[in-house]
Structure 1
C-alpha cells in the first residue's frame, strides 16, 4: 500500500496491475518452479522499494500506447515482465536459522535431489514433509536466504549442466530428467539462467 496526500480539485493518475489466482496458476504450470514463491513475494512487497524494472513497466501503460495496434498483446507481455521482476527480487536479509529450520531445509533438499525429474513444487514438497507451504518457505529464507523455488531451480539447472556436459543425451531427455515436461519450457528457463539456450551452452562447453 502507498499513502500520499491528495489535494482537492487536482487530477491524479495511477497505474496498477491485478493478477488473478487463475493467472498465477497458469504461470506455475507453464514455468515449473519459477513462480512458486510469487504469492509470498506479493505479500511482502513494499511499493516504496519497487524494482526499477517494475516501475518501467508501469510507466509503459499509457493511453497513447493503448490506442496503438497490438496493445493487448503488448500489455500482456509487460504484465508478465512485471511479475517476473517481482519474483526475482531479493528478499530481506534472512533471520537467524533455528535447528528445526535447518533440518527441514535439508529434508526438502534431499527430496529435490532424489526426485528432480518429477514436477516438484514448494506445495508438493511441503505436503510430503507434513508442513505448510508457508512454513517451508520461511525455513528456506532463514537457512538459505532464498526461496524454495529458487533453490529448486538451481538444483534443476545444475543437474542440467552436468547432463549437457556429459554429451549424448537429447535436449528433450535432459529437460525431462530435470523436471520439465516440455523442451520449450526448459529452453526458456535455461536461457533466463545462463543467457543462452541448452544446445548453445553444450556446444560452447564441449
Structure 2
C-alpha cells in the first residue's frame, strides 16, 4: 500500500495514481494499482528500497489522450523504457536521438513539475530506479569523489553507454514480485546488481578504459546464448529481439558484426549440427528429428538439411556427406 512506500518517495508515483484514476490493490510489498477499465488498461507498482531509493514499474495504454503532471524531487532516474515512454521525457533532460523499442536512459530531475501526455494507442512501459542525492552520499565502498563521479555519470543528458547487461535485470522486476513473500529480497538483489554494473561502467569511463564488450556485442552474445539453449524451439529473430528488448534490425546488425553471419543463419546452423548428430547416433525417424530441432514439418526440415549438407537426411544417415574422422 502507499503507506508502505517511504514518504519522501511517494511524490514520484502518487500524483500519477490520482490523475490517472488508478485503483490500489492488496500487495505484500509496496503499492500496486491498476487503471480503471473505462480509462484504459495498465498497472503501476512502486516499491521503496530505502528512504531515498524507489523502484517503479508502469505499463499503461489509454482509450483517449490523457494529460497529467508529475512532481519529481531533485533526483536521478535510471530507466529501461519503451519508445513511447522515452518520448514523454521533457526536452533537455535527455538528448535527442533515434530510439529503439526498448531503451536504457538516465537523467537528472531538478524538482521542476513535468507535463506529460499519454496518447491513445501508445504502449507506455517503464522500469525506473529513482535515487535522491542522499542515496549516493550513503553508498558504501566509494570515496566522496567516486560518489560524485557516479552521480555525474548518471546525470549526463547524452548518456548512450549505460551497461546493456542491466536491461534484462530490469526486465525481471515485474509486479508479480509485489505478491511474493520473497519479492522484496529479490527486488533488492536485482537492484544491487544493476547498481554494481553502473558503478563498474562509471569508473571504466572515468579511467579512460574501453568496455570489455560494446553494447551491441553484449546483445549479440545474449542472442547467441538464447539460440544455443533453445534452437529446438520455434525461434525467430523477431522473438529473440523482443526478449532482449531491442529492435529486430538492430539485433540482426549487431549479431552480424559480432559473428560475421546472420542471426537466422546461425539458428539454421545450430539446428543442422544437432540434426546431424541425431541422424548419426539415434534411431529417431526423420519426422521426430525434424521436430527435435525446431521444424514443424518434416518436408521443411528435409529441404533445409539438403541445402546445408548437399544430401538428404536419409542419405546422410547412411554415411553420405559426413565428415570422415580419422
TM-score of the aligned structures, taking structure 2 as reference length:
0.32
Offset at 1:101? 2.0
- Residue 311 of structure 2: SS of its match in structure 1? coil
Tell me if structure 2 keeps the 8 A contact 1:164–1:174. Answer: yes
Offset at 1:148? 0.8
Offset at 1:102? 2.0
Offset at 1:103? 1.4
Residues 1:186 and 2:306 aligned together: no
Provide the residue aligned with 1:132 in structure 2.
Answer: 247
Could you tell me how far apart the structure 2 residues matched to 1:159 and 1:107 are? 20
Provide the residue aligned with 1:119 in structure 2.
Answer: 234
CA RMSD of aligned residues (A): 1.8
The CA deviation string for residues 93-138 of structure 1, in whole angstroms up to 9 with x for no partner, is xxxxx52222111111111122222111111111011111011011
Residues 1:157 and 2:272 aligned together: yes
- Residue 233 of structure 2: SS of its match in structure 1? coil
TM-score of the aligned structures, taking structure 1 as reference length:
0.50
Offset at 1:147? 1.0
Provide the residue aligned with 1:103 in structure 2.
Answer: 218
The correspondence for 2:263, drawn from 126, 148, 156, is 148
Provide the residue aligned with 1:173 in structure 2.
Answer: 288
Tell me if structure 2 keeps the 8 A contact 1:190–1:197. Answer: yes
- Residue 257 of structure 2: SS of its match in structure 1? helix
Which stretches in structure 1 are left out of the alignment for 5+ residues?
Answer: 1-97
- Count of residue pairs brought into register by the alignment: 110
Provide the residue aligned with 1:197 in structure 2.
Answer: 312
Structure with bigger strand share is 2
The CA deviation string for residues 150-198 of structure 1, in whole angstroms up to 9 with x for no partner, is 1111111111111111121111111011110000000000001111111
Map 1:25-40 to 2 at 5 A. none
Could you tell me how far apart the structure 2 residues matched to 1:133 and 1:153 are? 18
Specify which structure has the bigger relative contact order, considering alpha-carbon pairs within 8 angstroms and separated by 6 or more residues. Answer: 1
Could you tell me how far apart the structure 2 residues matched to 1:121 and 1:165 are? 27
Tell me if structure 2 keeps the 8 A contact 1:116–1:177. Answer: no
Could you tell me how far apart the structure 1 residues matched to 2:284 and 2:238 are? 30
- Residue 218 of structure 2: SS of its match in structure 1? helix
In the TM superposition, structure 1's runs of 4+ consecutive aligned residues that sit over 4 Å from their partners are none
Structure with larger Rg: 2
Structure with bigger helix share is 1
Which stretches in structure 2 are left out of the alignment for 5+ residues?
Answer: 1-212
